[in-house]
Amino acid sequence: MSTSDDPTTQTVRTHSTEHVITAGADASQRTPTWKKVIRDPQAAITIGLLAAIFLIGALTPLIAPHGPNDADLSMVNAPVGTSGYLLGGDESGRDIFSRLLHSINTAAISALIGTTVALIVGVTGGLVGGYFNRATQSITEWTFALLMTLPGVLLLIILMPVTGGDYRATMFVFGFLLAPGIYRIVRNLVLGVKNELYVDAARVSGLGNVRILGRHVLSIVRGPIIIAAAFMAGSAIAVQSGLAFLGVGSTEIPSFGAMISSGFRNLYVAPAQFLWPSLLLGVITASLVLLGNALRDTLEGSKPKAKKVGAGQRVVADVERDGPTDPDALLVIRDLGIAYPGVDGAPNEVVRGVNLSLAPGDVLGLVGESGSGKTQTAFSTLGVLPSEAVITGGSIRFDGRELLGLDDTSMAALRGSAIAYIPQEPMSNLDPSFRVGSQLVEGLRAATSMPRKDAKARVIALLDRCGIVDPQRTFDAYPHEISGGMAQRVLIAGAVASRPKLLIADEPTTALDVTVQAEILDLLRDLQHELGMAVLLVTHNFGVVADICDRIAVMKEGEIVENGAAEEIFGAPRHEYTRMLLGSILDEDAVRTDPPAAVKGVAS
Amino acid sequence: MTLYILRRLAAGVMLALVILLIVFLLISSSFDDTARTMLGQGATPESTAALVEARGWDRPVIVQYVEWIWHAVQGDLGQSAFTSLPVRSAVVDRLAVTLSLIVPALLITAILSVLLGVWAASHGGVIDRFAQGISLVGHIFPALLLAIGLVVLFGVELGWLPATGYVRFGDDTLGWLRSITIPVIVLVIPGVANMSAQVRGRMIDELNRDYVRTLRTRGISSRSIVYKHALRNAGSPALTVMSLEFIQMFGAALIIENVFALPGFGSYAFNASLQGDIPVILGISVFGVALVTVVHLVTDILNGWLNPKARVH
Amino acid sequence: MSLLELEDLRVSYPGRGFRARHVEVLHGVSLDVDHGETVGLVGESGSGKTTIGRAVLGLVRPSGGSIRFASQEISGLHGRARRGLASHIQVVFQDPYTSLNPSMTIGDILAEPLVVHGATSRDARSRVRSLLDQVGLPNDAIDRLPREFSGGQRQRVAIARALAPGPQLIVCDEPVSALDLSTQARVLDLFVDIQRETGVSYLFVSHDLGVVRHISHRVAVLYRGDLVETGDAATVTSTPEHPYTQRLLLAAPVADPARQREKREERKRLLAAHA
């Protein structure tokens, strides 16, 4: 089968209800990068400004009225506006304007040499150090560590006898000193990309190392390199100016640093002299920094924003505080709506009109596929929705009390003591820097203000109860020292420590092996009986629901489509979607029966 | 732990030896120039050669290197080729001046950066925009321009602080404070700009992590989450930034010392380099490398304390 | 003669740190896959099931034993010789989000393996069209980026990429575990249909007995680097002999409250009996 009209290649058409996401929403992401950059005003202005300055620099031989070192004794410290000496003369009678123009070129060459050397050395080092085996990695790592061990400026000064102070040689050396920064960026990106499955897939497809580096790795590294280049050009110019200011290098070379130095010596005689080169140097370096920032914003996308910690959930709707209460229910969610800002800023409702009710001691399974809004519903009950989320309406009533509109302090008082939470990923939900025990003790004391000693004893007893063999050792362990199954037991112990009335478990066994899952489900079932707590179990797994839940609510695209006793729904699902989901389960009857396929059209 | 420190120190010494060897090899090309400079106007090829031989500079570089290391280990860094003054005490004197700028600047930078970064990350809104504004402004201008601008403003125009000159700490504490105020400010501004942005970014990352949500569901206060949990986890990358900031400041200090006419490491290195004063250049290198090694070591030890995964048993 | 034969395959990874001891993750596994056959490889995390797949693909180097493909020893091959196998052995990975390069269009992703093996870009393009057709994706997908597709669709793209060179064996590493339930069933059906059409063999790695049962002719069960049980799919996945397989089978919950209650009791009896 090598061409499309090969008779053995028949199209396999499976009935597909998956819809292709409309291209409209993503069109903006496919604009070529350079267009995106040009459209950003900050990038456009700084690029324009830098282009204009360096163009003028390139035209210097044509437009400068004097040579950079032409001294005229009659023009010593000539004032601004002297004929032929637009910005006046300096301490040696040289034309400040002409020297300024020539200095642009010195700066441009410095930036060019420094950045180019840094890019060549850093990118090569980063690609080699990140992609190849461990021995190569340690060698490059050590070499670049060596480069970083001497303060750059000091090394440049010390090496004056070697470079002869020529600014081009100095910038060449400086390029090596800048290289570790680039090396770090590239190496980290490559290390990340190297473990991406698409690189493995490319290798399986028969691509060689060079091709993989060029095609798959370099394309990821390109953006960050361009950004870094802008910043490096700025620091190369700044360092060259600093060194020239110190007097490193030939006095014949016109540069901002040398001009500032000369103006600075003349500060009391002609205060304006140091101003011109400072101004131009400032404009160039500032433009490069601002350009780098603008490139970062457009190429790397928006970074997560800072938000107020403990601001509580945003509720836009008027919450009905004194609505009818159901005395038999512990948790009543009515008509809940949750929205996130969409691509164009318009709110995008991920939860719509959700109604749920949970009696004390009941176990309710909230089932749905990814993106159905089940986790959002659970988070809103805990009061821990992300700050971008907005509750657009409804009511969440816990133990007769309305939760929507409560501030974070009141919610914090409820959380941990009356409502508790078990997360999906055990490892990422423990603070890596604190011992397991101290995290649990802190939580328990926040909920109950128990003395530390009692809290510790209770936590150790709980760890023991949760099936941890050596509770004292786990208490003293750091999260990275325990296994995933163990970590989930720790999190369950943390959740039930203050005997909550309601436990919200968000896919508590999804990240675990199936044998560990069975043990954790046993533990949850036992604890639920012992403590008589209600459980809201969020899951996509009908097996887990069948194992532990009394009642089921099925969610689809933000809405609850079916709600009822577990036996009823498994026995006679009413809604078409529920039937479809149950029908998709690969049950014990679904054994493959057809024999191995006959071999046809074997690849030549 | 002691073993770890010893191992790190040994690695640092190795690194220093390699760097000094490189400096030796590079400098060895200019022995003749140095001899000529020492002899001044009357230098002839014969007298230059005689001086080179007298100094032992004609011997193989490796031999000179080993000999120099041998003396250095015993605390003898030799004498200046020009002034015959002992290198060690001169370098220490000059380094003290530079460090008296950098150490206060680094402390102030660290405190301000953590305050500003944590504050911005955990409050958002206006405070966050203010912090980002500060970091942008501080990034834009090279230290040299800041130094000159502040000297002109406070030293010359307003006359509040001495524009140039250095007062020794032991002689007049207040005078010392006044003499280092502007240089320290010049170092602090870009330092805070860089480090507060890093702290802010790390804090935002940490506050978005899963464990923060889980801690919140246990009723733990926002204050504990921000200042105890998130800050500790953001701390170890921030420390790395701080050690790089130290090296950065050291480089910047060498340049701005000149603006303020401070008798620091920068001008000393510059003069030695200009003359090709080889013993002094080597002395400066060894102290520069030692300084950086110690800073990295301290950073690693603090890192191990903050981050249990990095801890070495 | 089987298409793929593993004999006493061993793999060890270097331990952490300098000169650390090597950790063996596969302790001598023997297994074979016939033409047109699916062999399911089941195990929990740390069992070494993914490592077997990666060893066959040449992504990890075995420390012992042999891997023979079409009677040729391939475990020691690298460089050009190994790359030559690309048209015979292909892969579909678990995560449809990271197995496609986010910055390449679907057309480029699918054409890459073809162009590497010397196809002209025009031939490659027409082949890509027929591949898209084969996996049930619309023709206009060719100029789009992976992020414009859902998880199930991306997995279809990954399958198309694997089919591109017309391989005899596809290693499937948990190819449906990241998918939603309803998508999972359809993608599995696609795998079966393609096998019937082309006669390709699958080495199908999964942690999920249900999935393996659905697609495999034969099943092998791995536990901590050892093969504990091998046999035809129906037997191994419904009446297993080895205690570990029994435990695995009983631990997987079934979507029926009454049957699950029985299963749970049975599991507890088994555990008590072995305790």
pLDDT tens, residue by residue, A485-505: 899 999 999 999 888 999 999
Instruction: Say whether both C181 and C267 belong to one domain.
Output: no
Report, as an integer, the average pLDDT of A5-30: 36
Strand order in C38-42's β-sheet? C89-92, C169-173, C201-206, C38-42, C218-223, C226-232
User: Chain B neighbours among A 481-510 (CB < 8 Å)?
Assistant: 491, 494-495, 497
Q: Which of C75, C45, C71 is nearest to C59 (CA)?
A: C75
User: Chain A neighbours among B 84-103 (CB < 8 Å)?
Assistant: none
- Pair of tokens at residue C270: 């088994």
- pLDDT of A153 reads 82
Distance from CA of A215 to the nearest CA of C (A): 10
Residue B293 predicted with pLDDT over 70: yes
Instruction: Say whether both C77 and C94 belong to one domain.
Output: yes
Instruction: Say whether both B45 and B155 belong to one domain.
Output: no
Contact yes or no for A431 and B309 at CB 8 A: no
Instruction: Say whether both B98 and B68 belong to one domain.
Output: no
Please tell me which of the candidates A518, A546, A586 has its beta carbon nearest to residue C185. A586
DSSP string, A10-23: PPP-----PPPPPG
Instruction: Say whether both C17 and C133 belong to one domain.
Output: yes
Helix (H) or strand (E) segment spanning residue C39:
strand C38-42
Check if the beta carbon of residue A177 is closer than 8 Å to that of residue A149: no
Per residue in A172-231, pLDDT (tens digit) is 989 998 898 899 888 888 888 887 888 889 888 888 888 888 888 887 788 888 888 998
Residue A423 predicted with pLDDT over 90: yes
Q: What is the 3-state secondary structure (H, E, C) of B230-297?
A: HHHHHHHHHHHHHHHHHHHHHHHHHHHHHHCCCCCHHHHHHHHHHHCCHHHHHHHHHHHHHHHHHHHH
Instruction: Say whether both B178 and B268 belong to one domain.
Output: yes
In a domain, B63, yes or no: yes
Q: Is the dihedral of CA B84, B88, B89, B95 positive or negative?
A: positive
Q: Which of C217, C256, C223, C257 is nearest to C237 (CA)?
A: C217
- pLDDT of A529 reads 93
Contact yes or no for A310 and B211 at CB 8 A: no
Distance from CA of A363 to the nearest CA of B (A): 20
Residue A601 predicted with pLDDT over 50: no
Instruction: Say whether both C74 and C156 belong to one domain.
Output: yes
Instruction: Say whether both B100 and B66 belong to one domain.
Output: no
Quick one: DSSP state of residue C10?
E
Instruction: Say whether both B104 and B238 belong to one domain.
Output: yes
Least confident of A147-151, B171-175, C55-59, C216-220: A147-151
Q: Is the dihedral of CA A236, A241, A242, A248 positive or negative?
A: positive
Instruction: Say whether both C190 and C55 belong to one domain.
Output: yes
In a domain, B312, yes or no: no
| ipTM field | 0.89
Q: What is the CATH number of the domain that holds B155?
A: 1.10.3720.10
Tokens 């649990």 -> residue: A440
Please tell me which of the candidates C98, C126, C152 has its beta carbon nearest to residue A18. C152
Quick one: DSSP state of residue C60?
S
- Pair of tokens at residue B27: 């400098």
Contact yes or no for C90 and A518 at CB 8 A: no
Instruction: Say whether both C159 and C140 belong to one domain.
Output: yes
Rg (CA), chain C: 20
Cα–Cα dist B249/A154, whole Å: 11
Q: Which domain holds residue B33?
A: 2-73
Instruction: Say whether both B107 and B69 belong to one domain.
Output: no
What share of chain C has pLDDT > 90, as a percent? Answer: 49
- pLDDT of A315 reads 83
Half-sphere exposure of A217 (CA within 13 A, CB side): 31
Instruction: Say whether both B226 and B129 belong to one domain.
Output: yes
In a domain, B264, yes or no: yes
- pLDDT of A602 reads 43
Q: How many pairs of residues across A and C have Cβ atoms under 8 Å apart?
A: 260
- Pair of tokens at residue A577: 């979607």
Cα–Cα dist A162/C87, whole Å: 56
Contact yes or no for B142 and A281 at CB 8 A: yes
Total count of domains within chain B: 2
Q: Do chains B and C touch (3 or more CB pairs under 8 A)?
A: no
CB atoms within 10 A of CB A195: 10
Strand, helix or coil for residue B79: strand
Cα–Cα dist A272/A96, whole Å: 11
Check if the beta carbon of residue A342 is closer than 8 Å to that of residue A312: no
- Pair of tokens at residue A442: 């802190």
Q: What is the CATH number of the domain that holds C120?
A: 3.40.50.300
- pLDDT of C161 reads 92
Strand, helix or coil for residue A67: coil
Report, as an integer, the average pLDDT of C118-141: 88
Instruction: Say whether both B207 and B104 belong to one domain.
Output: yes
- pLDDT of B1 reads 66
Cα–Cα dist C38/A159, whole Å: 67
Instruction: Say whether both C249 and C194 belong to one domain.
Output: no
User: Chain B neighbours among A 441-460 (CB < 8 Å)?
Assistant: 442-444, 446-447
Residues in chain C: 275
- pLDDT of A475 reads 94
Instruction: Say whether both B46 and B98 belong to one domain.
Output: no
Half-sphere exposure of A354 (CA within 13 A, CB side): 34
Cα–Cα dist B238/A120, whole Å: 28
Check if the beta carbon of residue A373 is closer than 8 Å to that of residue A319: no
CA torsion angle B4 B6 B11 B16 (round to 10): 140
Cα angle: B137, vertex B142, B146; to 5 degrees: 75
Query: What amino acid occupies position A216?
Result: H
Check if the beta carbon of residue A130 is closer than 8 Å to that of residue A97: no
Report, as an integer, the average pLDDT of A145-162: 79
Instruction: Say whether both C227 and C257 belong to one domain.
Output: no
Distance from CA of B243 to the nearest CA of A (A): 11
Total count of domains within chain C: 2
What share of chain B has pLDDT > 90, as a percent? Answer: 16
Show which subunits contact C, needing at least 3 CB pairs below 8 angstroms.
Answer: A
In a domain, B44, yes or no: yes
Instruction: Say whether both C148 and C265 belong to one domain.
Output: no
Let me know if C147 is exposed, middle or buried by CB neighbors in 10 A (0-12, 13-18, 19+).
Answer: middle
Longest CA span, chain C: 65
Q: Which of C138, C137, C157, C135 is nearest to C146 (CA)?
A: C157
Identify the band that residue A524 occupies on the pLDDT scale cut at 50, 70 and 90: very high
Tokens 């090496």 -> residue: A159
Report, as an integer, the average pLDDT of A147-176: 83
Per residue in C130-140, pLDDT (tens digit) is 999 989 898 88
Cα–Cα dist B236/B160, whole Å: 39
Check if the beta carbon of residue A202 is closer than 8 Å to that of residue C112: yes
In a domain, B257, yes or no: yes
- CA distances to B30, B231, B275, B277 from B83, rounded to whole Å, are 19, 52, 11, 9
Residue B161 predicted with pLDDT over 80: no
Quick one: DSSP state of residue A254?
-
Cα–Cα dist C165/C167, whole Å: 6
Report, as an integer, the average pLDDT of A568-591: 86
Q: Is the dihedral of CA A245, A248, A251, A252 positive or negative?
A: negative
Tokens 């304006």 -> residue: A272
A434: left (phi over 0), alpha (psi -120 to 50) or beta: beta
Residue A4 predicted with pLDDT over 70: no
Closest residue, chain A, to B279 (C-alpha) = A158
Per residue in C148-168, pLDDT (tens digit) is 888 889 999 999 999 998 999
Contact yes or no for C101 and A219 at CB 8 A: yes
- CA distances to A155, B106, B267 from A150, rounded to whole Å, are 6, 18, 17
Residues near A297 by beta carbon (within 8 Å), at least 6 away in sequence: A40, A42
Least confident of A72-86, A327-341, B245-259: A72-86
Average pLDDT, chain A: 84
Check if the beta carbon of residue A330 is closer than 8 Å to that of residue A534: yes
Residue A85 predicted with pLDDT over 70: yes
Please tell me which of the candidates B124, B224, B273 has its beta carbon nearest to residue A308. B124
A203 neighbourhood in chain C, CB within 8 Å: 58-59
Residue C48 predicted with pLDDT over 80: yes
Contact yes or no for A384 and B204 at CB 8 A: no
Please tell me which of the candidates A9, A16, A205 has its beta carbon nearest to residue C86. A205
Show which subunits contact B, needing at least 3 CB pairs below 8 angstroms.
Answer: A
Instruction: Say whether both C234 and C246 belong to one domain.
Output: no
- pLDDT of A6 reads 34
Instruction: Say whether both B61 and B161 belong to one domain.
Output: no
What share of chain A has pLDDT > 90, as a percent? Answer: 36
In a domain, B303, yes or no: no
Residue A526 predicted with pLDDT over 90: yes
In a domain, B215, yes or no: yes
What share of chain A has pLDDT > 70, as a percent? Answer: 91
Report, as an integer, the average pLDDT of A142-161: 80
- Pair of tokens at residue C167: 């391989």
Strand segments, DSSP code E, in A232-388 are: 314-315, 331-341, 347-358, 363-367
Q: Is the dihedral of CA A399, A401, A405, A410 positive or negative?
A: negative
Instruction: Say whether both C92 and C221 belong to one domain.
Output: yes
Per residue in B223-234, pLDDT (tens digit) is 999 999 999 999
Strand segments, DSSP code E, in B84-229 are: none
Q: Which domain holds residue C259?
A: 242-274
Residues near B269 by beta carbon (within 8 Å), at least 6 away in sequence: A154, A157, A158, B254, B281, B284
Distance from CA of A466 to the nearest CA of C (A): 17
Instruction: Say whether both B6 and B55 belong to one domain.
Output: yes
Check if the beta carbon of residue A330 is closer than 8 Å to that of residue A502: yes
Identify the band that residue A324 occupies on the pLDDT scale cut at 50, 70 and 90: low
Cα–Cα dist A347/C218, whole Å: 50
Strand, helix or coil for residue A406: coil
A421 neighbourhood in chain B, CB within 8 Å: 214, 217-218
The more confidently predicted of residues C260 and A208 is C260
Half-sphere exposure of A56 (CA within 13 A, CB side): 17
- pLDDT of B34 reads 79
Q: Is A306 on the interface with B (CB under 8 A)?
A: yes
Helices (H) and strands (E) in chain C, counts: 10, 10
Instruction: Say whether both C80 and C99 belong to one domain.
Output: yes
In a domain, B298, yes or no: no
- pLDDT of C201 reads 95
Tokens 């990038």 -> residue: A43
C-alpha of A228 from chain center:
18
Q: Which of A375, A377, A330 is nearest to A352 (CA)?
A: A377
Helix (H) or strand (E) segment spanning residue C64:
strand C64-69
